[in-house]
Every structure is written in C-alpha cells, then in structure tokens.
Amino acid sequence: MRHRLIPQEGVLKPNSRNFLIWALVLGGIFAGVHLLTRQENKLNENRIPYSQFVQSVRSGKVAEVRIQGPDIFGKTRRGENFVTYAPFSPTLIQDLLDNDVVIDVQPKEQEFSFWQFILPWLPILLLCSLIFYSMRQFQSNGSKAMGFGKSNAKKADDKRVKITFDDVAGVDEAKEELQEIVSFLKDPQKFQRLGGKIPKGLLLVGPPGTGKTLLAKAIAGESGVPFFSMAGSGFVEMFVGVGASRVRDLFGQAKKNSPCIIFIDEIDAVGRRRSTGFGNDEREQTLNQLLVEMDGFENSLTIIVIAATNRPDVLDHALLRPGRFDRRVVVPNPDIKGREKILAVHLKNVPLAPHVALEILARGTPGFSGADLANLVNEAALLAARNGKLAVSMKDLEEAKDKVMMGAERRSMVLTDESKKMTAYHEAGHAVVSFFTPGADPLHKATIIPRGEALGMVVSLPEGDQTSLTYESLIAGMTMSMGGRIAEEMIFGPTKITTGASSDIRSATNLARRMVMDWGMSERLGVQTCFVGDYYETKEFSEATSQIIDEEVRKLLDRCYKKAEAVLTEHRAQLDALANAMLERETLTGEEIRLVCEGKALPPFKLFKDESEDAPGLPNVVRDLPKPKRRRKSGEPKPENKGTAKPKRKKKDGEKK
C-alpha cells in the first residue's frame, strides 16, 4: 500500500521563511521612507510666502509665532497654522512687538535626512548581511562556518561498491599483496598467532593507467571494513595549517572506525621531498602532520594506509621508511597474458563476433596499459554502433587499435598527386629499410592516409614484451628512421626533400644521445653515465666530455644514415613496388609488405570489402533484412495461407524416427 505524505500545516519551509524575513525588512524600510516623506509634504502644504506673512502681521491677523533660525512657525487668530521662511531682518521683531504678537524664540533644530541617517550604518548593514548569508550557505551545505579544516574524505558504501578483485586483471602479483591485507582484516588471528604484523602502509607504484586506483576500489569491495579515500591535492590549501588540520581529522575518523583502510591517491602532491631551507609552507606542514599520524598509531588500532603514485622518486625519504610505508607494490604495464585477461574483463559485457581472437589483439598491443585497453574496447564498440552492427568484430577492434596508436584518419584532407607520391615513397623507404635490416621489429602496418598530425606512418611491433633493448635493435631503429629522408632524396633529388622527416631525425638523435650518455654504448666514453639536469641547468661532466658526446652522437647518426642508404640502393626495385602498392591501396598490412619485399604478387584488392566475409555468422543489418515479397502475376492463383510451419517430410522405408 502506498502512503501519501501530507504536509504539516503551520510549518514554513526554509526558503519561505527567508523570503518572509527579507520581505519584512524591505517593508519596514519603505514604511519609514514613506512616513518621512509624508511629514515633509505636510509642512510644504502649510507654507506661505514671506510677503503674505508681513501683511498678516501688520494687519493684526497673527496671534503667535515660534522662530527657529530662518524658519517661522505661526498661528493666526483664527487658529490656522502656517510656516514661512524669513530672511535676516532687524525690523521683524519690532513689527511683531508693535502688533501684540506672542514671540517664542528657540534654537535651530538639527536637520534630519533619511540618507544622512542610513549612510553611516550602510557598511555595517552590508557586512552583517554578508556574514548572515555566508552562515546560511555553510549550514545549507551541511558544514559549519570555519569548517574548512575538516577532511573531505569519502567513505565507501558497501551497497554502492561493485568492484572486486575479479574485475582486476593483468596485475596478479599486486593482487596477491593486497589480498593478503584483506585476509588480515577479515581474520587477523591467522597472522598474529605466528607473530606476524600486518604492514601499516602500502605504496602502489606504477605508470599512469595501470590500475592502481582500481585496485584500491577492489579492496573497498572485498574488505568489508570502512574505506576512506582522498586525493593528495585535497590536503593542500591556500591557508597555512588547513592541510595539517585535515590530516588530523581524517585519522581521527579512521580511529573511530577501526579497523579501516585509508586510501590517498596521488600522494606525491603532498608527500614531495622537503627542501633543505627553513621553509614554513603549507605543503611541508601537511607532510609533517602526515608523518606524525602514520607513526603514532596505537597498537590496538588497525588502520592501514594505502597510497598511489607514479612519481616515487620525488617522495620524501621519511615517508618511505619502514613503519610508515612498509611495503611497496609495483603495478607495471601488463604483459601479453595480462593484456589478454584485461581485454576479457572489458569485453565481458560487449557482444562479440565468434571469430574475435583476444590473443592476437593482445600480441599487437605491447606497452598498452589497462586504461589504454579499456579505451580501445570502447572505441571499437562506438565504431561498430556507428556502422549499424549488432556485434563487435575483429575488424572493429583492429581499426580501434590503429586509432589509439596512430590517431584518427583524416580522409577529408585533400592531397595533391605529387604530395601522395612523396608520402608513399617516404613511408616505403621506412618499410624497406626495416624489412632488410637485422634486429628491426616486424612491420605491422604502413599507410599514407593522414592520421593525427602525420601524413602517413609505418608501425612496427615487437614480437613479444621487451624488458630491455639490445645494441642491434637500437641501431636498427635509428637506421629505419633515416629511410624516409633517403628515399625522398633518391627519387626526387636533394632539392625536393621535405620537412616530413623532422620527427624521424629528432627521435634518432635522442636515441643516439641516450646510447652515449645513459647506456654506456660509446667506444670513446666507455661505460659511464653523463647526467644532465632539467633544461641543461646542471651537468656532471666537463666541456671536453661534452665535445666527445657530440662527436659520438654524430658518428652513430652518420653510420645509420649510410647503412640505410646502402639498403635502399640495393633494393630499389622493392622501394618502387612498395610505393606503387601504397598509392593503389593506401594501407598495407605487415603480411602484404612482406610479399612485396619478397617479390611476390599481392592478393586481389577489394575496394569495398563485404562485412559478411569479415565476420561470418554475425547478424548483419543489411544481410538480415526481410526479402521483398514477389508480386503475383495476373491470372496466378492466390497461395493458401498455411502458416509459418514447414511441411512435414515423409519418412522413407527403414528410416528411424
């Protein structure tokens, strides 16, 4: 049975009450102004000219007068009141005495004006109104005035939290570390009987998008204890002392709800290394209070602090010592098996085609984080919906991967035939050099369709997850970068080279400089590191060493340039064939590039590929449309309506049921 709420009579809502108060205040102001104006109008009605007043005095009509400065208030012998303004006249008093007029002289009254009365009080009234309005705003927001020192940490609700460890994939080691924390909170005696103590703090370290915050949400869904979450930037404010007050309030709430978990996201915003000077800024005071609270837990309380950051190198050393953050959990980018599991998690609620192979998709996305894979799945779903499909096919996932890796296609961009030919030979130069250079990564795709800021690109993917780079692979990568400029110069001449190789030259130069300065791959410098600070403000080597670095970088670049030039000179036929194939098809896969470089024929090119071939068995919007009914010819008998059931087939002799 539904119950209807009946409003109580005689109870005003807060908005109505405020409106009534302001209405009464404004009404009182208008009433006062009206009263003063009315009195002044009444005086103006009884005012007479001074000449008429003099004639009335001399004719004996005036009985009495009251003189206040220049104003004269009088009364006639008939009882009528009047007012006049008299200039300074020495004979006026004598005329009044001669005509037996009663004279009353009083000092001049202070002139009263409404604005003279209200102007001195106006600033005070405005200030009181501002304070009153601010207090009302604080009360409406559920906080008190001066309550900005309170912590704004969010407490997770068990009914709302839907994320568990089943929703987290690709970080198995980190899950084991955090599942141990959850197990301790559920059954602490299991660890305490052997003298074990749970870590007071866990620091989640990893690149952006690897799932650090998602792991914290999974802890909130699995632990079953109060979970407080707050960003590191939420502690620091403009006023000194506010951050420390919020830290005290946060840990005060945690102590009341022990056992519980505190999660601080992006802790590097508040835990950055303190300066050596005698600073007294807000961030350092907040960090000091955080250090005190983390080291001052009572033994009987179970409060676990979990923090996440992608910059562990800038954190204060006192924050990382045992007793505060006892354990550091690394959350790296997933490997090929982890990427396959993450894709399975994100595709759990997405209708897929039968031919979708997650293993192939995971192998083609090295270096992708969990957030990148989630974005890839979302782009594929949007692309399938845009094309009117009922399920996501492998083609949609591949196109979404290319969009995430290389940018969106700019097919509306109009290029001349000369520009297309220049771009085709530039990208063909990269592809041919990469194919015939030992140690280079396998080619994935080459295209002359503008994507992002590039007019074309060649993408090569490693066969597996790379944990380190070899000298051979680094030289092969720089050699591939030189292929585009050399192809332009060989085909169109040195005066026709373009600025399209700027990013290639920049990446090759940076790679060569790191080989010399960071990785000890220089013959003259040997195994040493040459540190350079930000913007080259500080460097730990001499000018002579700096000159040697420049010479070694130049030596590496010249070596790779000559090597790429030799490859393209030897395989000029493959360069022309690959450029022509790209002009015809615009995009070539890694397998098609291999066929061209090996001198084999490409399969027939279909300008418009049938979607049903790409996704067999999928419900297609065009394919599944009902066929049009055949129109009956004249004289043809009307078919009988036998329903949609198929006619029964007669059983043959000896056929089993």
What is the tens place of the pLDDT at every residue in 270-323? Answer: 888 877 655 557 778 888 888 888 876 555 567 888 899 988 888 888 888 888
Measure the CA–CA gap between 587 and 365, rounded to whole angstroms. 19
Domain contains 3: no
Residue 110 shares a structural domain with residue 207:
no
Measure the CA–CA gap between 220 and 155, rounded to whole angstroms. 10
Structure tokens at 181: 């924390």
Please tell me whether the peptide bond between 259 and the residue prior to it is cis, using omega within 30 degrees of 0: yes
Measure the CA–CA gap between 34 and 15, rounded to whole angstroms. 28
- pLDDT score recorded for residue 610: 41
Residue ranges in the chain modelled with pLDDT below 50: 1-12, 142-146, 607-634, 641-648, 655, 657
Measure the CA–CA gap between 165 and 345, rounded to whole angstroms. 11
We report the CATH number of the domain holding residue 312 as: 3.40.50.300
Measure the CA–CA gap between 180 and 475, rounded to whole angstroms. 45
Residue at which a domain ends, from 553, 577, 597: 597
**What's at 540, amino acid-wise?**
E
- Provide the sign of the torsion angle of the four alpha carbons 488, 489, 494, 499, taken in this order: positive
We report the CATH number of the domain holding residue 448 as: 1.20.58.760
Domain contains 132: no
Measure the CA–CA gap between 579 and 432, rounded to whole angstroms. 10
Residue 235 shares a structural domain with residue 375:
no
Domain contains 634: no
- Closest among 392, 365, 373 to 381, alpha carbons compared: 392
Residue 483 shares a structural domain with residue 363:
no
Domain contains 650: no
Residue 187 shares a structural domain with residue 321:
yes
- pLDDT score recorded for residue 560: 94
Domain contains 5: no
The domain containing residue 82 runs over which residues?
Answer: 16-116
User: Which residues are bridge partners to 4 per DSSP?
Assistant: none
- Closest among 574, 580, 260, 250 to 420, alpha carbons compared: 580
We report the CATH number of the domain holding residue 393 as: 1.10.8.60
Domain contains 512: yes
Residue 399 shares a structural domain with residue 462:
no
Domain contains 136: no
Q: Which element (helix H / strand E) includes 287? A: helix 282-295
Measure the CA–CA gap between 581 and 603, rounded to whole angstroms. 11
Number of domains in the chain: 4
Residue at which a domain ends, from 382, 405, 428: 405
Residue 301 shares a structural domain with residue 371:
no
- pLDDT score recorded for residue 486: 94
Structure tokens at 283: 């961030």
- pLDDT score recorded for residue 552: 93
Residue 194 shares a structural domain with residue 76:
no
Residue at which a domain ends, from 309, 330, 351: 330
Residue 448 shares a structural domain with residue 536:
yes
- Closest among 428, 379, 436 to 402, alpha carbons compared: 379
Domain contains 452: yes
Q: Is 9 a catalytic residue?
A: no
For the chain, how many residues are written?
Answer: 657
Residue 323 shares a structural domain with residue 340:
no
Measure the CA–CA gap between 492 and 486, rounded to whole angstroms. 10
pLDDT digits (tens, 9 = 90+) for 38-53: 555 555 557 888 888 8
Q: Give DSSP secondary structure letters for 477-532.
A: HHHHHHHHHHHHHHHH-GGG--GGGHHHHHHHHHHHHHHHHTS--BTTTBS----B
Q: What are phi and psi of 534, to 5 degrees?
A: -65, 135
The SS3 assignment for 416 reads coil
In 10 A of CB 188, how many CB atoms? 15
pLDDT digits (tens, 9 = 90+) for 72-90: 888 888 888 888 877 767 7
- Closest among 275, 231, 351 to 619, alpha carbons compared: 351
Residue 216 shares a structural domain with residue 320:
yes
* Active-site residue identified among 427, 488, 565, 592: 427
Residue 354 shares a structural domain with residue 498:
no
Residue 354 shares a structural domain with residue 282:
no
Which residues, including other chains, have CB under 8 Å from residue 545's CB and lie 6 or more apart?
Answer: 525, 530
